[in-house]
Structure 1
Amino acid sequence: MRVGYVEIENFRGIKELCWAPAAGVNCLIGPGDSCKTTILDAVELALSPRHTLSFDDLDFFGGEFNKATKIIVTLTDLPDEFISDAMYAPYLRGISDDGKVVDEPPLPEKGQHALSIMLSIDEGLEGKWTLWNERVAAGDMKERSLTYAHRASVAPARLGVYADRHLSWGRNSTLARMSEGAAATQDILARAGRLARNHFKTEAATLFKSSLESVKLAAKKVGLALPGTIAAGLDVQNLAITKGSVAIHDGEVPLRALGMGSSRLLVAALQDYSKSSLCLTIIDEVEHGLEPHRIVRLLKHLKSKDRISPQVFITSHSPIVIRELSVHDLHIVRRAEDGKVTVRPANKKYSKRDPQAPPRSMPEAYLAPTVLICEGKTEVGLLKGLDDYWVAQNLDSLALKGIALADGGGVDYAPALAGQFCGLGYQVGLLLDSDQDPADTEILGKLEKAGVTVFRWDKGCSTEDVLFHQMPLAAVEMLFDYTLTFLEQTAILDAANKPRQADDRFTSIDQVRGRLSDATVLDALAARAKGKKKKDSENLHGAWYSRRARYTKRRCYIIREAEQLLGRHPKFLLNQRHSAIKLDQRFKRCGVLLCARK
């Protein structure tokens, strides 16, 4: 059994949601406050075996309790007893092969049987669980719900942040389920009480000797002869050994004292071993309390085909989780301002780009609301340096604006990456040089139509060209001196001399530095700073400023001058510094700092 479709209406932060989960692992990712945990809570509540749960006004979207909350969870891969005429056959629906829910059971070759469970909450704060289909809604069929035994079989096994309750024989704990039901647990507790009473007798004679003598003396005074065999003992009926009082111990220390991560790992294993759910496992913040190597181990366990409940809903804010899972396991959650929530599979292709590559190389980008795709490492390094400078000036950082930077891997790959993120619902900016256009001459137009903001320098200019040619001379001299801190002088001399005749070559670095106002010298340095072409290839390598560290030196005068340059550039405006410049509303919502448009 598994969840085939989820519909949520007016529940907490969700105004509306429709989602068709995959059969295996479904990892919900996205920025904070996108309602990932709310989706897990909704599914768990709808499939709860207890129909006495309490609700409050905050469980309604926007607190509007006069608009009923509805959560419909449609189950498929049903066992035979669910589809029999004696049970729920009249209430069956279907899920077609294209993932759509249909109200009548489809033919086997066109889909599968399904059963929809609806939780509705009205302004009286009463929850109502019923089997739902359009015939029931129309009043053509009588309302009914699952039997308690069937509710228990579809109830999810949820592993929360605090897992220690499952390490005792408490109510609805995993250990209690492993004890073959409530009756077996009660029998165990009764035996535990007798063991406690018998053990107590051996120690109580000494502990309570003085008190018992006082009791006998007091009884004599009123003429009451007490038996000589009286002793202190435990009254099993009043012992109050509750189900949660008996827990697994390591020596004298209960295992609930384990670290949070260890507790969650153990409980995850126990839930599978005890077959605590035949339907679904739910884990919120799967990485919580775990080191990277144990996160990897837990994910492999959850994806194992040997598990009795192979469908898993998890949430995560960890790049490690995104990197380790397959792109087919990842689902992007986005919430619009009106409360509509969408869940998109991350394996959607754009152009010919492999959708698996970005989660492996840039998992952090999937966790931000806005992604700025840079053509290459040089642009990423420049923006990282500017970000540090803005923070030092007490200005807003990229992180505060919700912007993640990503290396697009070149002029031909970066646009396709921008298209992929745009298709997943992200706010996307694309920063490209203008010295070379993408091989796909139509892709930039398509991206702009889709809502991607494309930033470019003046025609024919790369980032290196702009830094060497458009910064003030003092800043160029600082950039030149800084370059000497990580490059050999011979490398810079070779670059400066490459276009020069033999009799006009520089022989010292000081000569080059003295000619930094010469456009031909700047051309030569900028050309080499971009990188050399590999043999039989158009790809560049050995770029001078492609490493992040070379742009992130704190309080670097070059960074300040670069920022001022960008601020003055007619087509490259910083709304950090120039808040008076009227930018269109779309840019403001994106929060993109570097706003340029050809």
Structure 2
Amino acid sequence: MFDDADFHLCSPANAIMIEVILGDLPDVFRDLEKYGHALCGWNTETRTRTDDPGDGLEDALRIRLTVSDDLEPSWSVIKNDEDEGIPFKATDRAKVAVSLIGAVSDRHLTWSRGSILSQLTETENITSSLAGAARAAKSALEARRAEDLTGFDAVADTAETTARTLGVNVAESYKAHLDTDAINVRMAGLALHDGEMPLRQLGLGSKRMLTTGLQKQALRSPHVTLFDEVEVGLEPHRIARLLEHLKDDETGQYFLTTHSPVVLRELTVDDLHIVHCDGGRIDVVAANTPAIADSIQGKIRSGAEAFLAPKIVVCEGATEVGFLRGLDDHWTSTEDKESFAYRGIALFDASGAGKVREVAENLKSLGYDVAVVVDSDADDQFSNDDSGALCGIGITVVKWDGALSIEERVFADLPWAAVTASFEAARTIWNDDTRLLDQVQTQHGEGFDRDFVAWTDGPELRTALGKAAKASDWFKRQSWGREWAAAVSGHLSDETIRDSDLIRQLSSLRGWIDNV
């Protein structure tokens, strides 16, 4: 059943049209009296369709579902774009054996009409068995008449006396008993139990797993199964077991949707497709794109969460990821800007500047909107040529001027109060003043004042602090980078640094976030 909410923007003026290519056809579909004249060709290697069958091509049918403002679905077999098609009959659609495992699985744990259990029991005389169950219930109650029906029979005696008084014929005697018509045991009333507990009481994940297993038993011929959000209700170890079970089914084809990084890590690029929606247009991109498949497999293992967002910021390392998380906290709580989550943005740790370009290019080729945040202190790892190449394919690049790391850039550009706040953040993280001062002194050299309370602003001290923070990994964990950003983000609006490289680069990134 369709309603107005199924249309794009809930407007029936945006008619629905969905097409699929159906292969591995049963012989009856090739019959000229069926759909033989509408066959097309499918190249299994290039995954492309031709209007006509041919050598080296698999016979296939192009099926189209359309729904307009009358809400009536229309199924057609079409040969080309201009073809109005011929009706794809309901009896033939049933032969394709498409089924859905959704959020509600209770019906499939009963012998309801069309349920999986009914399919598994179709060789039995279910009607006769249910009638016998009703008779058995009546006999069981008769055996307990003295214990359970005494009060009811007393009323029955009163009714019999009244009947005789009024001349109503009584063949034997009145008594309370079950009406076999009223207690007709319907198929839906017969359900699977674990001992005395009906299996509908199981958790959602357990019910879906059981339903999936039963369906595999019921659909022994080729089938197509749609599984909506496969991870719902399941712990990671059970997700892994379920996916293994599905992949072992050689008779069926499964289409799964997921929002779970656990599912992504359990599958390979051969299994995965990324679905993008842009203004109502849906694009599905295969993750096993030949040029990048090997690289992407490892990225999915290490950063699966990012692949579930439409926009990805590729960060050089953990410091950048943490710093941006802290900026997100500041922007949403203080400046009333939309959060990364609201804008559909995920952060990806590339684990090194030398990997940033490859990761960003690969993600872009998979249809993601991509930005990068990278240091400029290692030209052999990420050069201006790398930056230009990424900008050339529409990737926003945040790369600090001056051959500096993020630590050096922040210590160089922020107001002095933020510089001291950064050092205080490092003190809180490391809880070892002597160690921190030794590190700064190593970078500063002669004339270094170890009394940090007495420090005054100066380029030499700023440089030493930035280099020490970089070399000694003061903030090189996501949680540390986030603490650092929390300590300094309140100073980003200072008018004295409005024209600094740090603010210009962060403004560029924020513009990309907001699609400015």
> Do the structures match in fold with TM over 0.5?
yes
Q: 1:488 deviation in Å?
A: 3.3
Q: How is 1:392-407 mapped onto 2 (pairs within 5 angstroms)?
A: 392-393=333-334, 395-396=336-337, 397-407=339-349
Q: 1:567 deviation in Å?
A: 6.4
1:4 is matched with which residue? none
2:41 corresponds to 1:94: yes
1:51 is matched with which residue? none
1:113 is matched with which residue? 59
2:263 is matched with which residue? 321
Gap change, CA 1:132 and 1:243, over 3 Å in 2: farther
Matches of 2:427 and 2:68 in 1, distance apart? 71
Secondary structure of 1:328's counterpart equals coil
Instruction: State which of 68, 71, 80 in structure 2 corresponds to 1:125.
Output: 71
Q: 1:572 deviation in Å?
A: 4.4
Q: How is 1:448-459 mapped onto 2 (pairs within 5 angstroms)?
A: 448-459=391-402
Q: 1:284 deviation in Å?
A: 0.8
Instruction: State which of 524, 528, 531 in structure 1 corresponds to 2:468.
Output: 528
Secondary structure of 1:117's counterpart equals strand
Gap change, CA 1:499 and 1:253, over 3 Å in 2: closer
- Measured against aligned partners, the alpha-carbon deviations of 1:517-557 in whole angstroms (never above 9, x if no partner) come to 343343333223223xxxxxxxxxx5221112223339954
1:285 is matched with which residue? 229
420-429 or 200-209: bigger deviation: 200-209
Q: How many residues align?
A: 509
Matches of 1:203 and 1:567 in 2, distance apart? 91
2:514 corresponds to 1:591: yes
Secondary structure of 1:398's counterpart equals coil
Q: How is 1:205-216 mapped onto 2 (pairs within 5 angstroms)?
A: 206-207=148-149, 208-216=152-160
1:273 is matched with which residue? 217
Matches of 1:566 and 1:419 in 2, distance apart? 36
1:430 is matched with which residue? 372
1:421 is matched with which residue? 363
345-354 or 216-225: bigger deviation: 345-354
2:477 is matched with which residue? 547
Structure 1: gaps of 5 or more residues = 1-53, 532-541
1:244 is matched with which residue? 188
- Measured against aligned partners, the alpha-carbon deviations of 1:191-233 in whole angstroms (never above 9, x if no partner) come to 3323223223323465131122122101210233423355433
2:296 is matched with which residue? 355
Secondary structure of 1:106's counterpart equals coil
RMSD: 3.3
Gap change, CA 1:361 and 1:173, over 3 Å in 2: same
2:409 is matched with which residue? 466
Q: Indicate conservation of the 8 Å contact 1:470/1:565, yes or no.
A: no
2:26 is matched with which residue? 79
Provide the TM-score with structure 1 as the length reference.
Answer: 0.76
Structure 1 residue identity aligned to 2:463: D
Q: Indicate conservation of the 8 Å contact 1:280/1:312, yes or no.
A: yes
- Measured against aligned partners, the alpha-carbon deviations of 1:99-148 in whole angstroms (never above 9, x if no partner) come to 122222222xx221112333333444333334332499368xxx454572
Matches of 1:261 and 1:351 in 2, distance apart? 34
Matches of 2:74 and 2:132 in 1, distance apart? 39
Structure 2: gaps of 5 or more residues = none
Q: 1:352 deviation in Å?
A: 9.4
Q: Indicate conservation of the 8 Å contact 2:159/2:174, yes or no.
A: no
Greater RCO, 1 or 2 (C-alpha within 8 Å, sep 6+) = 1
Q: 1:402 deviation in Å?
A: 2.3
2:178 is matched with which residue? 234
1:445 is matched with which residue? 388
Structure 2 residue identity aligned to 1:114: A
2:449 corresponds to 1:519: no
Gap change, CA 1:165 and 1:497, over 3 Å in 2: same
Q: 1:297 deviation in Å?
A: 1.6
Instruction: State which of 189, 195, 202 in structure 1 corresponds to 2:130.
Output: 189
Gap change, CA 1:452 and 1:68, over 3 Å in 2: closer
Q: Indicate conservation of the 8 Å contact 1:350/1:419, yes or no.
A: no
Q: 1:351 deviation in Å?
A: 6.9
2:498 is matched with which residue? 568
Structure 1 residue identity aligned to 2:374: L
Q: Indicate conservation of the 8 Å contact 2:53/2:59, yes or no.
A: yes
Q: 1:345 deviation in Å?
A: 1.1
Secondary structure of 1:113's counterpart equals strand
381-390 or 485-494: bigger deviation: 485-494
Secondary structure of 1:287's counterpart equals coil
Instruction: State which of 166, 178, 192 in structure 1 corresponds to 2:108.
Output: 166
Q: 1:59 deviation in Å?
A: 4.1
Matches of 2:99 and 2:441 in 1, distance apart? 70
1:7 is matched with which residue? none
Please state which structure has a larger fraction of its residues in helix.
2
Gap change, CA 1:190 and 1:118, over 3 Å in 2: farther
Matches of 2:304 and 2:495 in 1, distance apart? 32
Q: 1:246 deviation in Å?
A: 1.3
Q: 1:85 deviation in Å?
A: 5.9
Q: Indicate conservation of the 8 Å contact 1:371/1:427, yes or no.
A: yes
Q: 1:421 deviation in Å?
A: 1.6
Matches of 1:562 and 1:203 in 2, distance apart? 83
Residue identity over aligned pairs, in percent, reads 35
Secondary structure of 2:465's counterpart equals helix
Matches of 2:192 and 2:108 in 1, distance apart? 10
Structure 2 residue identity aligned to 1:530: K
Q: How is 1:9-158 mapped onto 2 (pairs within 5 angstroms)?
A: 54-62=1-9, 65=12, 69-83=16-30, 88-97=35-44, 98-107=46-55, 110-134=56-80, 137=83, 143-146=86-89, 148=91, 150-158=92-100
Q: 1:424 deviation in Å?
A: 1.7
Matches of 1:273 and 1:350 in 2, distance apart? 39
Q: Indicate conservation of the 8 Å contact 1:71/1:119, yes or no.
A: yes
